[in-house]
Structure 1
Amino acid sequence: MNLAGIDTLAKAPLADGDVFLGGRWLPAADGRTYPVYDPATGEPVRWVSDAGAEDARAALAAAEEAAAGWRATSPRRRSEILHDTFRLMIEHRDTLAGLIVRENGKARRDALAEVGYAAEFFRWFAEEAVRIGSSFGDAPGGGFRHVVRRHPVGVTAFVTPWNFPAAMATRKIAPALAAGCPVLLKPAPETPLTALAVAALLAAAGLPDGLLNVLPTDRAPEVVSAWLGDERVRKFSFTGSTATGKVLLGQAAANVVNVTMELGGNAPFVVCADADVDAAVSGAMDAKMRGGGEVCIAANRFYVHEAVAAEFTAKFGAAMAAVRTGPGAQEGVTLGPMINRAAVDKIRSLVEDALDRGARIAAQGTAPRGPGFYHPATVLTDVPDDARILHEEVFGPVAPLTTFTDEDEMAARANATVHGLAAYVYSRDVGRALRLAERLEAGMVGVNRGLLSDPAAPFGGVKQSGLGREGGREGIEAFLETQYIALDWPTP
């Protein structure tokens, strides 16, 4: 595929295949294909090559072959290629957003925002590529010197989710390439087209063959097991569910593979008695409805102080009821379809469970009957603590509200989960907000802000929400090994 080929990814299958391996576009080794569906219609967008274990091994061989040359490439040259990829992503923003809408379903405004966010990882890590530091100094006891070097960790393998098909790929690819590591990428089977487009842009920016290999597949265990079972893979990064992450951690342990895991969330959204309610409502819409709620850091549980509960519920309910739901490509739509029928069924199950336990629907928007996989924006109140929706990640446009009066009791409820990815706090008293933020067991906290993500900041969670951080300066550290050299160079 040449650069112009990204415009045809959502149309007829490419004649030469969809597996990007060693700089070439190839069919799966055994010729298998699988369909990618449009969530707005439930109909296939197109069929793509379905990579298997043989393709996984071939991609690993290509990555290993390219590793030494890339490791020896100057940081400045790596930086230039990443900068050029950033520029190309911005130039092709509309096309990339269109791909995201077609295969993921999110509203076009969210898709455009994702492309901008995804591109920023290339710009940020282009700048970090030339700042990989080493050190030299005297041994404290004298008699020799310390030299500390940073080296690329080696071949890296990534598994990315469907909810951010561009950003979750670039958040891993950019720092790996900046550090000098070749990449193996298995995108989510639901959303491979965007990852393939990113590969085309990197190739157009001058990335040497073999440094990025993208394998669409509907048989993930074959591909991932082939990578994790091979000692040449030295870094593995996964974004997805906690349950799947635990399985993959077990596989990675066999070869003591360096891992980064960004897993499930159950983010609390706290509205204090002194909060600016209008600001809290605006932040709640950002934290809950970005990407249709299919976001790992989405606000999942709302704890609203009784003093402002009525006002917040009324204003937030009005905002949620006004959400326009429909196909993501339609003008004015702010909530597209969910990714598939199973996602809708899970959301409905959580809502029905809450209603059976005494919750009530305080506000609800409308949604098309179909075709497509839709669920309306919904606000639930009087949600009891034993409702499943307060303990499971809803991953959809439903906001369960509970109230509190005692801050200590609320913090205990907010922390009563195995997850700890994100949290949100609204208060006019910055001191109170910061104290609460520090008490919440979360890797990231938004204080009077509903949008957290920034390529220049470390992204990740605590407890069973993951291991390590992506983004920020920490993001490139994950792809570097530290080597200490004791140099026999006596001090004067």
Structure 2
Amino acid sequence: MTTQSFFPASLADVPADVQIEPIHQREYLLNGEMIAWSGRVADVYSPVGTPDESGNWQRHLVGSYPVCGPTEAMAALDAAVAAYDNGRGEWPQMPVAGRIACMETFIGKMLEKRSLVINLIMWEIGKNRPDATKEFDRTVKYIYDTINVLKDMDRNSSRFRIEEGIIGQIRRSPLGVVLSMGPFNYPLNETYTTLIPAILMGNTILFKTPKHGSLLHYPLLEAFRTSFPKGVVNSLYGRGAEVIPPVMQSGKVNVLTLIGSSRVADELQRFHPKLNRLRSILSLDAKNAAIILPDADLDVAVSECILGSLSFNGQRCTAIKIIWAHRSIVDQFLAKFGPAVSALKLGMPWTDGAQITPLPEPTKTDYLTDIIRDAEAGGARIMNEGGGEVVESLFRPAVVYPVKEGMKLYRDEQFGPVVPVVAYDDTEEFIDYLITDDHGMQASIFGSDPEAIAALIDPLVNLVSRVNINAQCQRGPDTFPFTGRKDSAEGTLSVEDALRSFSIRSAVATKDTTPNKTILNNIVGNHESVFLSTNFIF
């Protein structure tokens, strides 16, 4: 592989509709205002590069953003705390219909930035154009779906219940101040799958942008500013190690939502002085495993395992990160899987049909090379032509076999385009692997015999949170629960589950007496209370 084969010779070779001028962000959202910034900044370099005047390949400068410090972080926290005001602020007191109207205003303004955000996803993290487009559009759909589910939830809560001589109304109430931290691999979608339901439920937000994929949030800050009351949404830029500890140590964060590593989650939770007051909603590490039974349709297994292990270069928490193939068919599987992996098209994010694109993390290709060398030292080898070849930030996917205990690839989450394959003789080996693994997100079973598949389903559903039959591991559809066991998650995300995760059931109750009924009728009839109401959202 050569640089000239894949990377543009100059920016003039980049399609006109993809080209963007460097964006140098010098402001951030705080308490309903865009605050000017003149301090430190972080440069954003794309995984896409071009030769410089000396012919040396250089990553393209996409722009820069503020690197704030503890002072700015605490100011953002104070704004969120003031806006919530112990549940008495404008936003937590606003009727659900009012919050929904604000969110619908935001969607309209978000759509105005669609092309720019999609281009920034391509430039910042190297996601191909179809997937970058899908990420934006799926996020918009997720917001609409969340609004519709919230309407249903509110309708179901709009009546009184009478039980055992007690009249009551039960609704969901906000939790308080939410610290939201999203990932680089789905910097828009996965950030918003926690951010949006948290906002809609009446919480106030402090959201930390990811290191990679930070700049793409800038075009949407004005939409947040003009769609919601001041202090409801506050952006937080800077090094996580500098800005997050003081925020957590304050004890004023009520909810931590993080999509990232379990190590980081553990550290952040320990900073909080009152853990019983902190709710954590986390999507963390995963080492999702697939098992291919002797009677599996190998064409289906190959197709789904390629999608599952190498979509967006394998940089997904739901990616298949290790494949177990029965010894009787492992050679047949590899004979089909290896060439199919090598046939995946490498290219720039905007290259038609590109399935493998540049990696955003500067040291990632070195890491992937090292874990392959570690496996080779233990007797494994690369099974596909060209596997493991590197050109700058591009890494040709590698199928590595036979992988076994003791190799880094056996246990470590590689989070990249390397696919370890294990040969097994008995399904108990696979089950034991899942039992001893630190992770418990998903697994895939490929086979044809219903009895054999059923024998795996029952133990697996108690080891992972989702079992896929003849299909890749994945998050969608968004109405399905998304969670994990062990170190893979805390709390559950889906359109409905997320709304529940960012709220708590609250009740107003009284004894079923004539005077109390009169009081309730007066409050409801005169619209004296936002909570105690029979208003119905259409």
TM norm. shorter chain > 0.5: yes
Which residue of structure 2 lines up, in the alignment, with residue 395 of structure 1? 415
Which residue of structure 1 lines up, in the alignment, with residue 310 of structure 2? 289
Which residue of structure 2 lines up, in the alignment, with residue 59 of structure 1? 76
Distance 1:181 1:434, change over 3 A: farther
Which residue of structure 1 lines up, in the alignment, with residue 180 of structure 2? 158
Which residue of structure 2 lines up, in the alignment, with residue 467 of structure 1? 490
Which residue of structure 1 lines up, in the alignment, with residue 255 of structure 2? 235
CA offset digits 1:206-260 (Å, max 9, x no partner): 333322212222x212321232123332111011111111111212353531111
Q: Is the 8 A contact 1:233 1:257 kept in 2?
A: yes
In structure 2, what residue type is equivalent to 1:13? H
Which residue of structure 2 lines up, in the alignment, with residue 405 of structure 1? 425
Q: Is the 8 A contact 1:36 1:46 kept in 2?
A: yes
Which residue of structure 1 lines up, in the alignment, with residue 63 of structure 2? 46
Q: Distance in 2 between matches of 1:198 and 1:364?
A: 43
CA offset digits 1:367-399 (Å, max 9, x no partner): 8854x4222111112112221101000111011
Q: Is the 8 A contact 1:110 1:290 kept in 2?
A: no
Give the deviation of 1:119 after TM superposition. 2.3
In structure 2, what residue type is equivalent to 1:343? K
Give the TM-score of the pair, scaled to structure 1: 0.89
Give the deviation of 1:198 after TM superposition. 3.7
Q: Is the 8 A contact 1:273 1:305 kept in 2?
A: yes
Which residue of structure 1 lines up, in the alignment, with residue 374 of structure 2? 353
2:44 matched to 1:36? yes
Q: Distance in 1 between matches of 2:73 and 2:490?
A: 25
In structure 1, what residue type is equivalent to 2:27? D
Q: Please state whether the residue corresponding to 2:363 is helix, strand or coil.
A: helix
Distance 1:354 1:347, change over 3 A: same
Q: Please state whether the residue corresponding to 1:264 is helix, strand or coil.
A: coil
Q: Is the 8 A contact 1:238 1:261 kept in 2?
A: yes
2:501 matched to 1:458? no
Which residue of structure 2 lines up, in the alignment, with residue 11 of structure 1? 22
Which residue of structure 1 lines up, in the alignment, with residue 332 of structure 2? 311
In structure 1, what residue type is equivalent to 2:494? G
2:401 matched to 1:381? yes
Q: Tell me which moved more, 85-94 or 221-230.
A: 85-94
Q: Please state whether the residue corresponding to 2:199 is helix, strand or coil.
A: helix
Q: Is the 8 A contact 1:187 1:216 kept in 2?
A: yes
Q: Is the 8 A contact 2:289 2:320 kept in 1?
A: yes
Q: Is the 8 A contact 2:47 2:126 kept in 1?
A: yes
Q: Distance in 1 between matches of 2:197 and 2:458?
A: 29
Q: In the TM superposition, what are the counterparts of 1:273-284 in structure 2 within 5 Å?
A: 273-284=294-305
Q: Distance in 1 between matches of 2:303 and 2:413?
A: 22
Q: Is the 8 A contact 1:189 1:216 kept in 2?
A: no
In structure 1, what residue type is equivalent to 2:83? A
Which residue of structure 1 lines up, in the alignment, with residue 453 of structure 2? 433
CA offset digits 1:192-215 (Å, max 9, x no partner): 1122234344456x3333222122
Q: Please state whether the residue corresponding to 1:265 is helix, strand or coil.
A: coil
Q: Is the 8 A contact 1:360 1:381 kept in 2?
A: yes
* Aligned equivalent of 1:137, options 155, 158, 161: 161
Give the deviation of 1:90 after TM superposition. 5.4
Give the deviation of 1:266 after TM superposition. 0.7
Q: Tell me which moved more, 332-341 or 83-92.
A: 83-92
2:419 matched to 1:419? no
Q: Please state whether the residue corresponding to 1:40 is helix, strand or coil.
A: strand
Q: Please state whether the residue corresponding to 1:411 is helix, strand or coil.
A: helix
Give the TM-score of the pair, scaled to structure 2: 0.82
CA offset digits 1:415-464 (Å, max 9, x no partner): 32111122112223455435423422112232222252222222111101
CA offset digits 1:243-294 (Å, max 9, x no partner): 1111112123535311111111111011122222111111111111111111
Q: Distance in 1 between matches of 2:220 and 2:389?
A: 32
Q: Distance in 1 between matches of 2:137 and 2:495?
A: 17
Q: In the TM superposition, what are the counterparts of 1:18-29 in structure 2 within 5 Å?
A: 18-28=27-37
Q: In the TM superposition, what are the counterparts of 1:238-249 in structure 2 within 5 Å?
A: 238-249=258-269
In structure 1, what residue type is equivalent to 2:381? R
2:216 matched to 1:208? no
Q: Distance in 2 between matches of 1:40 and 1:175?
A: 34
Which residue of structure 1 lines up, in the alignment, with residue 274 of structure 2? 254
Q: Tell me which moved more, 39-48 or 382-391.
A: 39-48
Q: Distance in 2 between matches of 1:404 and 1:366?
A: 23
Distance 1:54 1:282, change over 3 A: same
Which residue of structure 1 lines up, in the alignment, with residue 522 of structure 2? none
Q: Distance in 2 between matches of 1:487 and 1:475?
A: 30
CA offset digits 1:310-332 (Å, max 9, x no partner): 23212211111012223323333
In structure 2, what residue type is equivalent to 1:306? R
Q: Please state whether the residue corresponding to 1:233 is helix, strand or coil.
A: coil
Which residue of structure 1 lines up, in the alignment, with residue 531 of structure 2? none
| Unpaired segments ≥5 residues, structure 2 | 1-17, 50-58, 518-538
Q: Distance in 1 between matches of 2:21 and 2:481?
A: 33
Q: What is the number of equivalent residue pairs in this alignment?
A: 478
Distance 1:271 1:91, change over 3 A: farther
Q: Is the 8 A contact 1:241 1:263 kept in 2?
A: yes
Give the deviation of 1:413 after TM superposition. 2.1
Question: Superposition RMSD on alpha carbons, in Å?
Answer: 2.6
Q: Please state whether the residue corresponding to 1:210 is helix, strand or coil.
A: coil
Q: Is the 8 A contact 1:159 1:238 kept in 2?
A: yes
Distance 1:251 1:438, change over 3 A: farther
Which residue of structure 2 lines up, in the alignment, with residue 171 of structure 1? 193
Q: Please state whether the residue corresponding to 1:349 is helix, strand or coil.
A: helix
Q: Distance in 2 between matches of 1:338 and 1:325?
A: 12
Which residue of structure 1 lines up, in the alignment, with residue 503 of structure 2? 480
Give the deviation of 1:348 after TM superposition. 1.4
Q: Please state whether the residue corresponding to 1:70 is helix, strand or coil.
A: helix
Distance 1:285 1:150, change over 3 A: same
* Aligned equivalent of 2:321, options 289, 295, 300: 300
Q: Tell me which moved more, 427-436 or 312-321.
A: 427-436
Q: Distance in 1 between matches of 2:31 and 2:129?
A: 33
Q: Provide the identity percentage.
A: 24
Q: Distance in 2 between matches of 1:366 and 1:272?
A: 25
Q: Distance in 1 between matches of 2:385 and 2:112?
A: 38
CA offset digits 1:463-484 (Å, max 9, x no partner): 0112111223211111112224
Q: Please state whether the residue corresponding to 2:185 is helix, strand or coil.
A: coil
Which residue of structure 2 lines up, in the alignment, with residue 3 of structure 1? none
Which residue of structure 2 lines up, in the alignment, with residue 4 of structure 1? none
* Aligned equivalent of 1:332, options 353, 367, 373: 353
Q: Please state whether the residue corresponding to 2:399 is helix, strand or coil.
A: strand
